[in-house]
């Protein structure tokens, strides 16, 4: 295999149309993202049909811009990578079909990438010296996992949400207190003005020994609190609600991630996913890690949210393992971590 492998990667699993050129899984030559947040904000969340249509409109542009910014042409590309799941099926199909056409026309390998593996791999770009094994806390609008990465492509799920993802709970609580969409960044910002100990919201307590999460209970507790305040005519301090809710979520995430490190006897935790850019989570993880001698790796926000550079990184290690996809590759909206 040649010394420098340039991969053109596409990501269209939800509401970001993204393309990137990545070298050897660790170096970004370009990372272009066309966001649909403003479009979906008026609906209070992502509308799948709208997302798919916007991907169709933007995909050619982001690919062309990624090549231009990287200073390369299609003839310089060694493989084409694309997210094929999990995600919104219509959105996935746009990127997948575009990538398959490119790979076929260029006679280059097609690499199908699991979106969650992509999030984990963002840490290889942010921390080029990072090598497995390590624990990764994946927290986003659709996913919440504690993953032990034993080796490249070798994942063990140690804990996951049994209902709402953490980011989903953020969005629902933000909507309930009138902050709108997207909820995560807005709650994070408002929480700075509030007292995190003003309201005690519950943490899920499972009877069995597990690192799993549950966030539907805390979401319901917030809604019940707001209803009670309305019925009694009391004024709701939104900043206190935001801060107290966020503390309850962050406490559980941090505690379980630290336990995972103890179980696996590793001293590194990598954060991944959109909620990994949350300032309270980062601060709490770093404080806990400092006490326990555990290094906390936090990618920059642009590599936490959906992007194509992380897909290019994951694809590089798939290519090294000799795992190109067939052109019959289909979108798998419910693809699980580690499945191929």
> Is 207's pLDDT higher than 80?
no
Q: How far is Cα 138 from Cα 296, in angstroms, rounded to an integer? A: 13
Place of tokens 């979906």: 40
Please report which confidence band the pLDDT of residue 249 belongs to, taking 50, 70 and 90 as the band edges: very high
Place of tokens 């001698």: 293
Domains, the chain: 6-122+304-320 (3.30.420.40), 132-298 (3.30.420.40)
Which has the closest alpha carbon to 166: 180, 182, 184, 149?
184
pLDDT above 70: percentage of residues in the chain: 99
3-state DSSP percent of the chain in helix, strand and coil, to 5: 45, 20, 35
> Is 333's pLDDT higher than 90?
yes
The predicted model gives 34-57 an average pLDDT of 86
Please report which confidence band the pLDDT of residue 47 belongs to, taking 50, 70 and 90 as the band edges: confident
Report yes or no: 111 and 80 within 8 Å, Cβ to Cβ: yes
Q: How far is Cα 104 from Cα 56, in angstroms, rounded to an integer? A: 19
pLDDT in tens, 306-325: 999 999 999 999 999 987 99
Which has the closest alpha carbon to 122: 11, 34, 17, 35?
11
Instruction: Name the pTM for this structure.
Output: 0.93
> Is 304's pLDDT higher than 90?
yes
For 106, phi then psi, to 5°, come to: -95, -5
DSSP letter string over 24-75? TTTEEEEEEEEE-HHHHHTTTS--HHHHHHHHHHHHHHHHHHHHHHHT--GG
The predicted model gives 170-191 an average pLDDT of 92
What six digits make up the tokens of 155?
A: 């994942």
Please report which confidence band the pLDDT of residue 147 belongs to, taking 50, 70 and 90 as the band edges: very high
Q: How far is Cα 57 from Cα 5, in angstroms, rounded to an integer? A: 29
Which residues are CB-neighbours of 97 under 8 A, at least 6 positions away?
none
Residues in the chain: 340
Place of tokens 């404080």: 287
The answer, yes or no, to whether the previous bond of 86 is cis (omega within 30 of 0) is: yes
What six digits make up the tokens of 269?
A: 């935790």
Which has the closest alpha carbon to 237: 256, 249, 222, 252?
222
Packing angle of the helix pair 89-106, 48-70 (nearest 10 deg): 30
Q: How far is Cα 294 from Cα 163, in angstroms, rounded to an integer? A: 29
Please tell me the predicted confidence (pLDDT) of residue 1.
62
Mean pLDDT of the chain: 94
């Amino acid at each position: 295999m040649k010394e420098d492998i340039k991969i053109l990667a596409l990501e269209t699993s939800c509401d970001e149309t993204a393309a990137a050129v990545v070298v050897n899984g660790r170096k970004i030559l370009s990372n272009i993202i066309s966001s649909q947040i403003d479009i979906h904000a008026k609906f209070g969340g992502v509308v799948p049909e709208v997302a798919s249509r916007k991907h169709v409109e933007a995909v050619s542009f982001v690919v062309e811009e990624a090549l231009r910014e990287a200073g390369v042409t299609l003839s310089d590309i060694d493989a084409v990578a694309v997210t094929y799941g999990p995600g919104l099926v219509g959105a996935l199909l746009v990127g997948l079909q575009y990538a398959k056409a490119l790979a076929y026309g260029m006679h280059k390998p097609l690499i199908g990438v699991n979106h969650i593996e992509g999030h984990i791999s963002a840490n290889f770009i942010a921390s080029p010296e990072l090598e497995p094994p390590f624990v990764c806390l994946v927290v986003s609008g659709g996913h919440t996992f504690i993953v032990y990465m034993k080796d490249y492509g070798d994942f063990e799920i140690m804990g996951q949400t049994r209902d709402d993802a953490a980011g989903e709970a953020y969005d629902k609580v933000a909507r309930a207190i009138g902050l709108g969409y997207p909820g995560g960044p807005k709650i994070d910002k408002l929480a700075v003005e509030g007292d995190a100990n003003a309201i005690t919201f519950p943490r899920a307590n499972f009877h069995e020994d597990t690192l799993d999460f549950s966030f539907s209970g805390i979401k319901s507790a917030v809604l019940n609190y707001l209803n009670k305040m309305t019925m009694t005519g009391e004024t709701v301090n939104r900043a206190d609600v935001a801060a107290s809710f966020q503390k309850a979520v962050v406490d559980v995430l941090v505690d379980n991630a630290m336990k995972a490190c103890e179980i696996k006897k590793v001293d590194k935790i990598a954060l991944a996913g959109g909620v990994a850019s949350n300032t309270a989570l980062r601060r709490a993880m770093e404080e806990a890690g400092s006490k326990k001698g555990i290094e906390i790796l936090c990618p920059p926000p642009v590599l936490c949210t959906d992007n194509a550079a992380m897909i290019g990184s994951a694809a590089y290690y798939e290519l090294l393992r000799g795992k190109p996809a067939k052109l019959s590759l289909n979108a798998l909206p419910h693809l699980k971590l580690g499945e191929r």
